[in-house]
Structure 1
């Protein structure tokens, strides 16, 4: 057998991508290389696997999860995190097949940095026991070492997959969007469920109900957990019974969304929708209309948040009064502090004013118009402007701060003050 293998080459490429991306923080499921990385790992675990097992019922087939689980129980001196990972997978109620458990193990082991441990038992400890054929990667002396070295490299990368998102691993590697919600206490969520293949699929949502708010729960969604309890395999009526038992408590739900952000239906849910006689094409059209509307709304908000580029000079306390007369002195006091000016974007919205760093748009100031008592500028420094805000609503606040800025031009300073004045009725400003 050649000492090279296409699967090893693919794995090297994915690990290189992961290593580069990890410099920016833990790797989430949203990274595009996570899915192909997991798929190629599974392909290597399956290549050359001797899956024929003699039992009292004759020859049966096993998947790689079988020997991984057995290794955790029979091999002494292995890492504790590996054994805890295997136990977590074995007791997980979201997966029921060896394929699902194997896939969940790969995701768990990437996060806990122990995927190399079972492979070590075959490659280094020679505990193959006929599990892998000679034409496999793990069973080959040279390729096994190469694979093991790549898994060691994985153990230095911070993977952070959403492990709760496991319910469809029995059928597919393709993951849905997984959301967690906490709804207000109620007796009736306004949700009607259809039970198929052990899953609770939303078939109708009442308009104006708690569940319908902001499209949290939609037709085609699958309720995965309620109040921290996995409801896969539950009979009809048990969810309603659980709601009655938890009466008066916030309703915590974990939901598998029936569609992606672009409105396309999650493929794993399609067979369930069809068995419940739901029109998949009609649903997808609805989802895409909502996604388009949300995209347009987001675009509008982003346009509104473009704001004005100015310099932020700093702030100073002006005492227990936020009167406009305090602005002239505050502007001089802050400018005399000789602090380095910070490039910012000043966003005047419908309900308040936000100040974002120009470099990364991180918010450093946020005041509602009800907190702002006055705004203005000095006649002799017309490119400087400021506003005064209390630590709560200005009508009851006992402490006020003045925030001072420098505009690019005198005209920009004037226009910003006019916009601020339009935002609240109490403002007095000087030009």
Structure 2
């Protein structure tokens, strides 16, 4: 491993961006999600799986063991953080618990202490590969700890209770509290889908309709502190019947972001909800970004200027969505193909033809290269096809003679989940060889895997 790991360089950029967001880091900070994703990627890099085990090991399992290895009991803050994470009923798997612990550790300024304790716990540290893990590399672990020290000196004020979607995504929904005076019943219809409790309708003249707080499509996350995560049919009704005549405090997760876009992890369930009730008006505008904190496109009514130049789109947006001029390429998306366990540059010359041989219809797309990640959006529908942070990309290159306009990159399959195996090749076609070379160089200069 090189002395300066590319992931650490990207993490440093994210931390500097976080500091530029303001003195206090909240869930609305633009670069929080990118920073958390990079921390997760680093903690998973080189984590080896046990032999003959049905349980897939994730970084949460490392943190969970640390208090047990503390024979002196000198890390009570770490133990409390682990116990709070373990006791959270809104988390169902190791991925959600790991993300919850990271957010909790950032808020309590103890993440550096967690990693320092891990580095001095050989039984846990040996789970990481000495050949590729940052935690086992002497030249990389010191700058990593320095970056964690910077994070520990920052003021993170995160909404810890808003964690019901951490098992699926780093993107968090808008969370609000609905408080109502004692009443016989709220007057709302509920629908249970995949362990979530949705508001399906509001009865005319009911307390819920009069208050105008709840909306069809919203998720009831908890009632008076009782979590409804992973609920079965009727469970919310049982909780409400026990609280009849008492003041209610309902934690509501909105199906819309504050900019009006649909909350991405809910879109599939919202469509199912609308299929059952076609009269339900949910809009279902696709979320412009699958990760919280990234810059979002404005609504169609916003004033903006567009022009095309050399096959590229340049947009001038109002402040608050984009800063200054943005450069977005107009390309043809050719598709992708699984290429096995090798993601090196040498595989591209046979991986790209493998994609082309599938003869899939190409799609005209907008290809946006941001500071820490790239986004590909279908031009006709504005639907996002994929998004990848640069550390997820293992290599990039173009097809040789006779087609100098086609390039591709390799990326780990489903990098957000710990069950990811193998790589896939993503191929695109440019309008000219010069544009192809420009894109390959721009992506290649980013800190890749």
Aligned partner (choices 67, 72, 87) of residue 67 of structure 2: 72
Q: Contact 2:216–2:280 at 8 Å: present in 1 too?
A: no
Give, in angstroms, the shift of residue 281 of structure 1: 9.8
Verify: 1:244 aligned to 2:241, yes or no.
yes
Q: What is the correspondence of 1:347-362 to structure 2 with a 5 Å cutoff?
A: none
Q: Deviations over 1:42-78 (max 9, x none)?
A: 011111111x1245xx454211000110112222344
Of the two, which has the highest radius of gyration? 1
In the TM superposition, 1:51-200 aligns within 5 A as 52-54=49-51, 58=53, 60-76=55-71, 77-124=73-120, 126-134=122-130, 135-200=132-197
Distance 1:209 1:116, change over 3 A: same
Aligned-residue CA RMSD in angstroms? 2.6
1:38 matched to 2:36? The reply is yes
After TM superposition, give the deviation of residue 37 of structure 1 in Å.
0.8
Instruction: State the partner residue of 1:284.
Output: 283
Unpaired runs of 5+ residues, structure 1, are 296-431
* Alignment partners' CA distance in 2, 1:122 and 1:183: 46
> For residues 218 and 115 of structure 1, do their structure 2 counterparts lie closer, same or farther at Cα, with a shift above 3 Å needed?
same
**C-alpha separation between the residues in 2 aligned to 1:210 and 1:251?**
12
Which residue in the other structure is 1:322 paired with? none
Normalised by the length of structure 1, the TM-score is: 0.62
- Work out which of the residue numbers 45, 48, 51 in structure 2 matches 1:47: 45
Report the CA distance shift for 1:215/1:7 in structure 2 as closer, same or farther (over 3 A): farther
Contact 1:3–1:142 at 8 Å: present in 2 too? yes
**What is aligned with 1:395?**
none
Q: What is the alpha-carbon distance in structure 2 between the residues aligned to residue 149 and residue 64 of structure 1?
A: 20
Checking the alignment, whether the CA contact within 8 Å between 1:95 and 1:169 is kept in structure 2 is yes
Note if 1:29 corresponds to 2:24. no
Distance, in Å, in 2 between the alignment partners of 1:225 and 1:241 is 13
**Matched residues in 2 for 1:131 and 1:28: separation?**
33
Q: How many angstroms does 1:117 deviate by?
A: 2.1
* C-alpha distance in 1 between matches for 2:255 and 2:15: 30
Task: List per-residue Cα deviations over 1:117-163 (Å, max 9, x = no partner).
Answer: 23113435555542111211112112112111211211111101101
How far 1:175 sits from its partner (Å)? 0.7
Query: More displaced, 12-21 or 2-11?
Result: 12-21
Give the TM-score normalised by the residue count of structure 2: 0.59
8 Å contact 1:111–1:158 — kept in the other structure?
A: yes
The match for 1:3 is: 3
Query: Structure 1 residue 20: deviation in Å?
Result: 4.1
Instruction: Point out where structure 2 has 5 or more consecutive residues left out of the alignment.
Output: 288-297, 303-449
Contact 2:69 2:121 in 1 (8 A): no
Distance 1:260 1:68 in 2: 32
Larger relative contact order (Cα-Cα within 8 Å, sequence gap ≥ 6): 2
User: Judging changes above 3 Å, is the alpha-carbon distance between structure 1 residues 248 and 123 closer, same or farther for their aligned structure 2 residues?
Assistant: same
Distance 1:280 1:268, change over 3 A: farther
CA 1:280–1:156 in 2, change beyond 3 Å: closer, same or farther? farther
Aligned residue pair count? 286
| Gap change, CA 1:137 and 1:269, over 3 Å in 2 | same
